[in-house]
Structure 1
Amino acid sequence: MAKDLPSDEFFTDKLRVPEALTFDDVLLRPKESRVEPDQADLTSQISTNVEVSTPILSAAMDTVTESGLAIEMARQGGLGVLHRNMTIDRMVEEIDRVKRADELIIPLDDVVTANPEMSVREVDELMAREGVGGAPVVNTRGEVLGIISSTDIRPHLEVNEDDPVTEAMTDEVITAHEDVDSRDAFDLMYEHKIERVPVVDDENLLVGLVTMQGILQRREYKEAVRDENGRLRVGVAVSPFELDRAEAADDVDADVLFIDTAHAHNRNVIDGAKEIKESVDADVVVGNVGTREAAAELVDFADGIKVGIGPGSICTTRVVSGAGMPQITAVAQVADVAAEHDVPVIADGGIRYSGDAIKAIAAGADAVMLGSYFAGTDEAPGRVVTMNGKKYKQYRGMGSVGAMKSGDTERYLKEDPDEEDEYVPEGVEAATPYKGTLKSELHQLSGGMQSGMGYVGAETVPEFKDRAEFVRVSSAGQAEGHAHDVVITDEAPNYSPQSE
């Protein structure tokens, strides 16, 4: 007979578990509404000081977000988060590319200039080499003497290619002061029928250049997310243990730093995140977490909290480690705590459809982050492959062996092993269907989210979060919600069957 049997049921009690839900388990309950989908305003806060027009972020993955995609994300009203599988120097270059993409005033260092001693031929070759149609002519002091354009040196103008540039330039130069805004710059160029205006300081020294092309480009992106200087915003992933990387990103004006770990409810991660927060001016978003207890540890210092333990399509954390939290429940638990402290919540991973994205907002998120959804776009850095006659783009989890070998073991709080077979990955390498432009994908995603707001009768994100209610869905209800009992002949741009 066994002796000293425990009187309690310590282990049996562990089996009396709470329920945890994800996107397919729930639907939004339709309500009376006067809100048409195109009236719904998706503007939302993603961190303490950063607001976006569309509450959508691209994931910090090396097959998803580099400067090309980050530029387009910001232009379309969202935010791109640069991955950290790159050197600090390259990260600085990538941030700089985003920041300079849509600048109103091209800074002096980037302006192609000619000096008055150059010949017409030399200037023509210079402009052709640099890919510009005109250049200010400046002396050694930096004063603007004139401006030369390709139209000034056409053959029929009888300008000899060996003549000094001063013979061909326009010497009655229209300039703008360095505090000029886009409206005044446009009016100035329109009035004088010119395409570029040198920008000067109080001493008439060149400090930059404004072009009509640049102004029209800015006008095209009315929903673009910009900083106080009119530059596109960008996020950057950093390790909690890389203070030098965080400070370097902050020095070149990254807007949001994302503490990028698979499990942020870790004392070492929290200590590192706090040190970074104290050392930078940028907002600091900390992730990933999935419980209210984790949120309680972060709300006192974080500018935002990112939620997601294993929901991503290429993430195997839950099956490898046995740990995780279904995403709807994870978001709701974190949001319960974060909302009391006005800390924005970002739902990261598991979103396959626009309906999933708006469900995440209903559960308490302020924005969503997606990886595979954007990995197939033109702007993503993954290479294109063709399989069985269809185009795909490379896509891999940051916990995959390939990503870890490229330098991302720290995200999973692991050391670099000596041998390849010693890696313990928490992600896979895969391919995702090629989709075309990021703009079209964002249009479908944000449009679906607006439709969800219309069904609930909410015109703004805060109102939607307040009004939205869920109903529980059975497996039969899930099947009923998808296209069924038909053969799809023409694919919709925002839907693919579950089996794919």
Structure 2
Amino acid sequence: MVNEISIGMAKSGRRAWALDDVALVPSRRTRSPRDVSLDWQIDAYTFSMPVIGAPMDSVMSPATAIALGRLGGLGVLNLEGLWTRYENPEPVLEEIAHLQAKEVSPENTRRLQEIYSEPVKAELIKARLAEIREAGVVVSGSLTPQRTQEFYQTVVDAGVDMFVIRGTTVSAEHVAQQGEPLNLKEFIYELDVPVIVGGAAGYTPALHLMRTGAAGVLVGFGGGSATTTRRALGIRIPMATAISDIAAARRDYLDESGGRYVHVIADGGLGSSGDIVKALAMGADAVMLGATLARAEEAPGRGWHWGLEAVHPDFPRGHRTQVGTVAPLEEVLVGPGHHTDGSSNLMGGLRHAMASCGYVDLKSFQRVDVTVTPAAGSF
């Protein structure tokens, strides 16, 4: 049932809910956290946690992608980032960390745009992916839709295991009067690796992305605290509703396709273990983490977080945000934690929530009961 609210005499809209607006309801049965499995499988690859590191320069370097892979997650390298523009990006990362401390700064934005004007180099894409492959973990890289046709063959030739196409909004039907748009269905069909695409925030666009052959769909617009999409573009879909809508698209596509399962991956706005718990409870199969992992001691952002939106040459719409440093990556993800705000031992929080509600695997946890508890000021 879809309930629309009148906005005025000429317009109405759905009431949508953020993750802060929902909460889990424990059942009559509880489990031991030791009995809970966080295993997640997509295509031929199995991970011991449903965590993907966001392809953002403040979050993933080749070293942190390797570290995340060894901990049981999937690290995705931004193939349009500093690691594929500069032979040695460490001095550049150090400079970014020491820009003015304030978030909103035209001077900072101008300097970031200058830094990211350095061209992406195909040989560096190959070198960075080779470095990750040599470590023996799953190799994954990300391009925006605008750069995919230019560099995807380089990525495939380098031996990538999984490919991510990530943008603010990715559609299966992009119409352009100038230039040849990316044909997602044809592109995915020609590849020999699973492709994750997004963002999407509604049932219909997600269903169309699933029909392209994507292995996974990213829910949301990514960027989290580092993006200002709502203020700059007027676009915002609260995550609880978005995940639930796209989980419905997954269900209907499973029936339509005769059994093909497409993974729903929540991307953006997951700042604590509680947010991760609720995203999975609403129907996500996994989560893509940005700011949450940018707080790790090993994160290349050195306590700062930004995305490609912040360096767009014509219409920047993101901030370089100070997120601080919490703990080493291992403690952030698997503990033992020393923080009471859900910023460390994220998987421990998920494991305890699942056990408290009586579930021992991720798929069954999607059936958990939830209640709507609107957060203060959310209306």
Same fold (TM over 0.5): yes
Aligned counterpart in structure 2 of residue 431 of structure 1, from 299, 322, 335: 322
SS for the counterpart of 1:268 is: coil
**1:381 paired residue number:** 300
**Take 1:13 and 1:465, find their aligned partners in 2: how far apart are those partners?**
38
| Structure 1 residue 97, shift from structure 2 partner | 1.1
Q: Is the 8 A contact 1:311 1:326 kept in 2?
A: no
Within 5 Å, give how 1:411-430 maps onto structure 2: 416=313, 423-430=314-321
**1:150 paired residue number:** none
Cα RMSD between the aligned structures? 2.2
Number of equivalences: 310
Q: Is the 8 A contact 1:40 1:453 kept in 2?
A: yes
**1:114 paired residue number:** none
Give 1 or 2 for the bigger CA radius of gyration: 1
**Take 1:83 and 1:257, find their aligned partners in 2: how far apart are those partners?**
11
| Structure 1 residue 304, shift from structure 2 partner | 0.7
Aligned counterpart in structure 2 of residue 268 of structure 1, from 166, 170, 174: 174
**Take 2:44 and 2:125, find their aligned partners in 1: how far apart are those partners?**
22
Deviations 1:329-372 (A, max 9, x none): 11111111113421001100101110110110111110001111
SS for the counterpart of 2:288 is: strand
**1:255 paired residue number:** 161
- Of residues 272-281 and 256-265 in structure 1, the stretch that sits farther from structure 2 once superposed is 272-281
**Take 1:66 and 1:272, find their aligned partners in 2: how far apart are those partners?**
29
Confirm whether residue 471 of structure 1 aligns to residue 367 of structure 2. Answer: no
Q: Is the 8 A contact 2:48 2:72 kept in 1?
A: yes
**2:242 paired residue number:** 330
Confirm whether residue 442 of structure 1 aligns to residue 333 of structure 2. Answer: yes
AA of the residue aligned to 1:457: G
SS for the counterpart of 1:51 is: strand
SS for the counterpart of 2:218 is: strand
Deviations 1:61-83 (A, max 9, x none): 01111211100111111100101
**Take 1:433 and 1:326, find their aligned partners in 2: how far apart are those partners?**
25
Within 5 Å, give how 1:111-130 maps onto structure 2: none
| Structure 1 residue 13, shift from structure 2 partner | 5.8
**1:320 paired residue number:** 232
Deviations 1:451-475 (A, max 9, x none): 1101210101111112x11111144
Tell me the TM-score normalised to structure 1 length. 0.59
AA of the residue aligned to 2:197: V
Deviations 1:124-182 (A, max 9, x none): xxxxxxxxxxxxxxxxxxxxxxxxxxxxxxxxxxxxxxxxxxxxxxxxxxxxxxxxxxx
**1:54 paired residue number:** 49
**1:343 paired residue number:** 262
AA of the residue aligned to 1:238: L
Confirm whether residue 44 of structure 1 aligns to residue 44 of structure 2. Answer: no
Q: Is the 8 A contact 1:246 1:276 kept in 2?
A: no
Distance 1:14 1:75, change over 3 A: farther
**1:357 paired residue number:** 276
Confirm whether residue 367 of structure 1 aligns to residue 286 of structure 2. Answer: yes
**Take 1:88 and 1:376, find their aligned partners in 2: how far apart are those partners?**
30
AA of the residue aligned to 2:310: S
Confirm whether residue 83 of structure 1 aligns to residue 78 of structure 2. Answer: yes
Aligned counterpart in structure 2 of residue 454 of structure 1, from 332, 355, 366: 355
**Take 1:477 and 1:274, find their aligned partners in 2: how far apart are those partners?**
42
**Take 2:205 and 2:46, find their aligned partners in 1: how far apart are those partners?**
24
Confirm whether residue 64 of structure 1 aligns to residue 59 of structure 2. Answer: yes
| Structure 1 residue 237, shift from structure 2 partner | 0.4
Q: Is the 8 A contact 2:172 2:185 kept in 1?
A: no
**Take 2:223 and 2:280, find their aligned partners in 1: how far apart are those partners?**
16
**1:109 paired residue number:** none
| Structure 1 residue 26, shift from structure 2 partner | 0.7
Deviations 1:182-232 (A, max 9, x none): xxxxxxxxxxxxxxxxxxxxxxxxxxxxxxxxxxxxxxxxxxxxxxxxx31
Confirm whether residue 100 of structure 1 aligns to residue 95 of structure 2. Answer: no
Confirm whether residue 17 of structure 1 aligns to residue 51 of structure 2. Answer: no
**Take 2:131 and 2:222, find their aligned partners in 1: how far apart are those partners?**
32
**1:296 paired residue number:** 207
Distance 1:461 1:318, change over 3 A: same
SS for the counterpart of 2:208 is: helix
**1:246 paired residue number:** 152
Q: Is the 8 A contact 2:298 2:328 kept in 1?
A: yes
Give structure 1 stretches of 5+ with no counterpart. 1-9, 102-230, 385-392, 405-415, 417-422, 479-500
| Structure 1 residue 288, shift from structure 2 partner | 0.5
Distance 1:430 1:34, change over 3 A: closer
**1:397 paired residue number:** 307
Q: Is the 8 A contact 2:56 2:78 kept in 1?
A: yes
**1:200 paired residue number:** none
Q: Is the 8 A contact 2:58 2:300 kept in 1?
A: yes
| Structure 1 residue 266, shift from structure 2 partner | 5.8
Q: Is the 8 A contact 1:310 1:317 kept in 2?
A: no
Tell me the TM-score normalised to structure 2 length. 0.77
**Take 1:50 and 1:14, find their aligned partners in 2: how far apart are those partners?**
49
Deviations 1:274-308 (A, max 9, x none): 24313321111110000001111111211110011
**Take 1:55 and 1:365, find their aligned partners in 2: how far apart are those partners?**
10
AA of the residue aligned to 1:28: L
- Of residues 433-442 and 269-278 in structure 1, the stretch that sits farther from structure 2 once superposed is 269-278
AA of the residue aligned to 2:129: I
AA of the residue aligned to 1:330: A
**Take 2:289 and 2:251, find their aligned partners in 1: how far apart are those partners?**
22
Deviations 1:396-451 (A, max 9, x none): 122113xx3xxxxxxxxxxx5xxxxxx32221112221123111100100000011
Distance 1:329 1:475, change over 3 A: closer
**Take 2:10 and 2:182, find their aligned partners in 1: how far apart are those partners?**
30
**1:410 paired residue number:** none
Give structure 2 stretches of 5+ with no counterpart. 1-5, 85-120, 176-180, 255-260, 335-344
**Take 1:260 and 1:368, find their aligned partners in 2: how far apart are those partners?**
14
Q: Is the 8 A contact 1:292 1:336 kept in 2?
A: yes
AA of the residue aligned to 1:349: G
Q: Is the 8 A contact 1:240 1:272 kept in 2?
A: no
